[in-house]
């Protein structure tokens, strides 16, 4: 999801068997990818908000 409501940024397939081993390298790689995407959206939001405050 993006910071704008109802917008999907990217579909991330998770082809890991269940139950998932949260300590596996594959799980950690997916977790890092998702965390990076969330952080990028947070930065975009902050940048857009800061720009909209300038009048």
Structure tokens at 24: 């596996």
Number of domains in the chain: 1
pLDDT at residue 33, rounded to an integer: 95
Reading the chain (55 residues) residue by residue, the pLDDT tens digits are 788 888 999 999 999 999 999 999 999 999 999 999 999 999 999 998 888 776 5
Q: Which domain holds residue 45?
A: 1-55
Sign of the CA dihedral running 41, 5, 1, 11 = negative
Enumerate long-range contacts of 7-15, CB under 8 Å, 24 or more apart: 9/37, 9/41, 10/37, 12/37
39: three-class secondary structure by DSSP = helix
pLDDT at residue 3, rounded to an integer: 83
Between CA 12 and CA 50 the distance in angstroms is: 30
pLDDT at residue 4, rounded to an integer: 82
């Amino acid at each position: 999801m993006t910071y704008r409501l109802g917008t999907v940024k990217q579909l991330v397939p998770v082809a890991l068997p269940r139950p998932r081993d949260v300590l596996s390298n594959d799980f950690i790689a997916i977790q890092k990818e998702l965390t990076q995407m969330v952080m990028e959206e947070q930065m975009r939001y902050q940048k857009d908000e800061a720009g909209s405050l300038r009048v």
